[in-house]
């Protein structure tokens, strides 16, 4: 078998970027998401949330495509969130898309630390500003990106 080592930084947001992930219950959501990842034999390095989006640093087995993984992750968590109405009363669903950035093993710790410090980071920068910076860093054109289209 070939040796493949890919670290992904995956980000997805709530429908219309609504701030519905309550800090008082985010640990339950993050634990549920990690559980889904483990069932799929993924290696989670770090996960964190903001009221309107989730960051995940992960390795996904090569037997699962990213699109299949994200479909399962968003569908299963969406169903769970709707069942947890008392914890997440305003949740209406995830936005259509997601963003995936790949990094080398060497860069992994930097991504883990970045995700760990989300709450501090977002005191000075909006998610949209942050996302545009990522695109530019990756050589992408922000005006052609559909991530924030609902």
Q: Cα separations (Å) of 130 from 60, 118, 123?
A: 24, 11, 12
pLDDT at 15 over 60: yes
pLDDT band for 144, please (50, 70, 90 cuts). Answer: confident
Q: How do 7-13 and 99-103 pair as beta strands?
A: antiparallel
Nearest Cα residue to 37 out of 80, 83, 70, 3? 70
Q: Cα separations (Å) of 54 from 7, 45, 47, 98, 106?
A: 16, 14, 7, 10, 23
The least confident of 2-11, 91-100, 107-116 is 2-11
CA distance 150 to 131: 16
Residue extents of the structural domains in the chain: 7-144
61-97 confidence digits (pLDDT tens): 999 999 999 999 999 999 999 999 999 999 999 999 9
Contact (Cβ atoms closer than 8 angstroms) between residue 84 and residue 77:
no
Specify whether domain 7-144 bears CATH 3.30.930.10.
Answer: no
pTM for the full predicted model: 0.92
Q: To the nearest 10°, the Cα dihedral for 66, 69, 70, 72?
A: 160
Q: Compute and round to an integer the Cα radius of gyration of the chain.
A: 15
Q: Which helix (DSSP H) or strand (DSSP E) does residue 111 occupy?
A: helix 108-116
124-135 confidence digits (pLDDT tens): 988 999 899 888
């Amino acid at each position: 078998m070939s040796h493949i080592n890919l670290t992904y930084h995956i980000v997805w947001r709530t429908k219309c970027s609504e701030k519905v992930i309550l800090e008082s219950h985010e640990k339950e959501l993050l634990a549920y998401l990690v559980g889904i990842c483990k069932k799929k034999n993924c290696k989670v390095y770090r996960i964190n949330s903001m009221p309107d989006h989730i960051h995940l640093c992960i390795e996904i087995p090569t037997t699962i495509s990213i699109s299949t993984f994200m479909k399962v992750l968003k569908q299963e968590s969406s169903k769970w969130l709707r069942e947890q109405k008392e914890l997440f009363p305003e949740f209406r669903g995830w936005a259509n898309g997601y963003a995936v950035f790949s990094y080398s093993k060497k860069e992994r710790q930097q991504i883990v630390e970045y995700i760990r410090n989300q709450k501090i980071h977002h005191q000075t920068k909006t998610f949209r500003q942050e996302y545009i910076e990522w695109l530019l860093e990756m050589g992408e054109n922000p005006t052609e990106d559909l991530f924030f289209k609902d």
